[in-house]
Amino acid sequence: MVRSSIRARLAGAGAAAFLIGGLFAQAAPSLAASPSHVLPAGWTAGSTPIGARSLGIRNVRTELAQAKSSPAFDRSASDAALAALEARPRGSTTPRSGLSPDVIGPPAPDPVTASGGPAPTTPVAVAGQDQPSTGTVEPASPGIAVAPDELVQADNNSLQFTDRSGSAVGSLDLPTFFGLPEISNGASFDTFDSQPEVHFDSSRQRWIATELSWDCATGTFTGDQATLGHGYIDYGISNTADPLASWSFGVFFWYDLLPDQPEIGTSTANFALSSNLYAMSAGGSPTTPDCINGAFQGGSLVLSDWAQLGPGFDGSKVIGRTFGLPTVPDLRVAIQEPETSPEVRVVFADSRTPGLNAAYTDFVGSAVHNTFTGVGFDLTADAILAGFATPPAPHQPSSGTLVGVNGDPESVIFHNGVLAFTSTYPCTPTGDSSTRDCVRVVTLGNATASQEPTRIGDTLIGTNGFDDSFGGIGWSGNGELHVVYTRSSASSDASSYESYHAAPDAWSAWSAPHVLSSGSSVYTGATWGGDPTVATDPQDPASVWVGDAYAAAAGKWATKIHQVTVGGAGTKYNPITPVRVLDSRSPSTAPVGLSGPFVSSTPRTFAVAGTHGIPADAVAITGNLTVTGQTGAGYVSLSPTATANPTSSTLNVPLGDVRANNVTIALAADGSLSAVYKSGGGKHASLILDVTGYFRGSSGDKYQPVAPSRILDSRSDPTIHSFVSDVPQSFQVRGDALTDPTILTIPSDATAITANLTVTGQTRAGYVSLTPDPTATPGTSTINFPIKDVRANGLTVPIAADGTVAAVFKGGGGKVDLVVDVTGYYTNTGAGALLFYPLNPGRRVDTRLAMGNDGLGNGLSGIQSTTPRSTVVAGHFAVPSTAVAITGNLTITGQTAAGRVALTDVSNAAPTTSTINFPLGDTRANGVTVPLGSGTGELWFVYQASTGKGTQLILDITGYFQ
């Protein structure tokens, strides 16, 4: 096995590759940088040395191809040792009574009320993982991460890889995945492991996996300071978005301390790992796990810089800094999804107070430069939140209970200025007379991390006659907050349930509970599952994903994979006379959207829905984005989410050229859009966005794609001549009056078309505006161009009542020829017309990168020549296999000759239409709305240029029709 080459992770290294501040015992060694810490009260910058090491780079697919071996050590014994450890007292021994006796003021949590929201759907509901038939291997600890094209599920023993439909791609046990030393592979000691976590970082398009491991060995390398053993947090970070390709692995380790229950946290600047530290003691051996039976020491937080964790990083060179709270357990560090803030946020139950007050702190700074600072707040003492409390053990049939629940925070997330967490809390549900377990969901306003959070919501989700416990939460892109939890009672087996809060509702209002996986037996294990993970879908804004646990047959646990979707129904199109919703050149006294230029790498957000006649319930728009006045070459990314590091682009621009591009783009849950200009430091640009229509669920038109067809070419059209500056002309689009209805028949009730506009032969620089009615003074533009440049732009434009579309050239004199290729139309009648489903932008094709594996990930690799090539789009990046057409953005770069590229639904080496035209040496983009191959879901690309020439292609998908 590959792992045998790194089996002795500490052997032969002398002392640790570097030492960093630990927590509680010896004096810390000198650090490379002088600390610059201003820490919250009670936090320490540690004193016990810990180290970091590299575990190398390995390819998961290579591991899958080799014979899988079960762990050499006795997993039942290791799980039993962990269960015994975690059952020991930790933190304060004061009874957890909720509020401190001397505290007056925090409001009690609110009982849940019914929102009346519709039941969610589960488009994907497939078997996940089962408890092994032999051994204990518990608890389930279900977790899941989702990328644009793949899923990874973690449980106590392994990682399972699937596609978005839930079809299995492969699985690896944890020792194999992390390359752990085992005697069976030549090591002198066994490494015991458990508690995997997995996360997909959408900002960086990379996977993160962690686990707890330990050994009971000493003297494993020269200078080893351990007297009882070593505790580890192993971590792996994928080098690409493909979870089956190469990963870089590293480890943080402690001497004679165990970092139990590690949790992942993220921010824009830092990667964080929280854990509970326990002292090791005598009792184990190199082949047994029982050295982990010491006293609880406190909560630990390890902070590293993302800047050091690039693809192919060397874990031995990663600087980490540890901070801790002695005697305080279960520090929970927040996952940010998406990442929008540099601060790492932590929530915990403060056991130093009489009643376990709810507490919050944040850290910001650099591990490399040793400059972390933070603030902390006692939210209970400050009358913001009631404290935590110990819940009863959840019931299950046969007078049994589920062991493992406590009242501490369970799942913590940060999303667009809101910090949210769950805990299990004692309550008496409405209509009940007994104290039950309820899932407590707290939401805090925390847009500015250094200021004390404000209470937004504090709700107890409980059910008459049932215990609701072990809650996990996550947001969908459209603003629904989902909670997934275990439900059980004295007469019902442990099952997984889901409920959600919709953005417009009061924070106490949640949907009716919805069963995900029904239990079928009494769970006979010693400990019930850990907190389930609720993962945001990076592509589908209406969905989250869970790998939920339930009590399966024979008293064992099992998990299922669920895609949980609220709304997500197809939307209809409403064309409008083009209107300008953003012009950053506008004065601050009368801004159009925003005023002032966009500075490079600084995202800005502006309102769209609810403005300029666009209704508040619009979920997506069509329009035209223009960039002007840029002081540096670069690109602009338009998306529903504000991010300084977008994973897709909308428009590429050189210096000194006004450029435009068609967009079809989803709006954020609050109806806004965000844009970021990416260029050199200090560069800036002005942005303009004109909207031509919007999508909503309640009313509008459906879409009918057509094979790309040319309906206008003013170079040869007998009725339309070259467009003279300031002289609008109308051309027929629909009905029998179309010049050549044998090419294409657009019905008389069509309200708008999707098309590609090409300008050529222009004698002056300027712009062209397409509108439903002719005007010499349009308020919006469709395409901008210099002289002597064949340029194209996609469009969606309303049709006038007489079935025409008008165009005008604005160039201060001169003329231009226009070519229009139609790709579809919107209609309010007609069989087979399609609804639109907006997605977050996702990159299906980038020919500069390696081909995706198993049909997943990147769809094409290698330079595109003049020979047509195709990639399957349907079934990838949240586009279902039933999709008929897509919207997106096509970018051309690295071309070796001027030419054009056509996107078609069938293979055609000489298409009569084009999608984008370009000269040599110019990166260009064009918004597209194109049909997919019938029955195949394919999209074909052909580069039309001289034989032997080639170009690179990039395709970002923004939505689909079905």
Phi, psi at 712, each rounded to 5°: -145, 130
Pairing mode of beta strands 952-961, 885-893: antiparallel
| Residue among 931, 933, 937, 929 at smallest CA distance from 958 | 929
What pLDDT shows up at residue 18? 26
Number of C-beta neighbours around residue 817 at 10 A: 21
CA-to-CA separations, 574 to 570, 698, 762, 905, in angstroms, rounded: 13, 11, 33, 26
Phi, psi at 62, each rounded to 5°: -65, -40
Cα–Cα distance measured from residue 375 to residue 406, given in angstroms and rounded to the nearest whole number: 26
Number of C-beta neighbours around residue 400 at 10 A: 16
Number of C-beta neighbours around residue 398 at 10 A: 9
Pairing mode of beta strands 509-510, 113-114: parallel
Say if CB 500 and CB 120 are below 8 A apart.
Answer: yes
Q: What predicted TM-score, i.e. pTM, was given to this entire model? A: 0.90
What pLDDT shows up at residue 22? 30
Cβ-based neighbours of 396, under 8 Å, separated by 6 or more: 402, 488, 489, 490, 492, 493, 494, 522, 523, 551
Say if CB 680 and CB 669 are below 8 A apart.
Answer: no
Cβ-based neighbours of 31, under 8 Å, separated by 6 or more: 20, 21, 370
Verify cis geometry, omega within 30 degrees of 0, for the bond prior to 289.
no
CA-to-CA separations, 263 to 177, 247, 259, 623, in angstroms, rounded: 18, 19, 10, 42
Query: What would the 3-class secondary structure string for 335-367 be?
Result: EECCCCCCCEEEEEEECCCCCCEEEEEEEECCC
Burial of 17 (0-12, 13-18, 19+ CB in 10 A): middle
Burial of 392 (0-12, 13-18, 19+ CB in 10 A): middle
426 beta partners: 437
What pLDDT shows up at residue 3? 31
Cα–Cα distance measured from residue 80 to residue 59, given in angstroms and rounded to the nearest whole number: 32
Regions of the chain with pLDDT less than 50 = 1-33, 47-49, 93-103, 736-739
Cα–Cα distance measured from residue 305 to residue 294, given in angstroms and rounded to the nearest whole number: 31
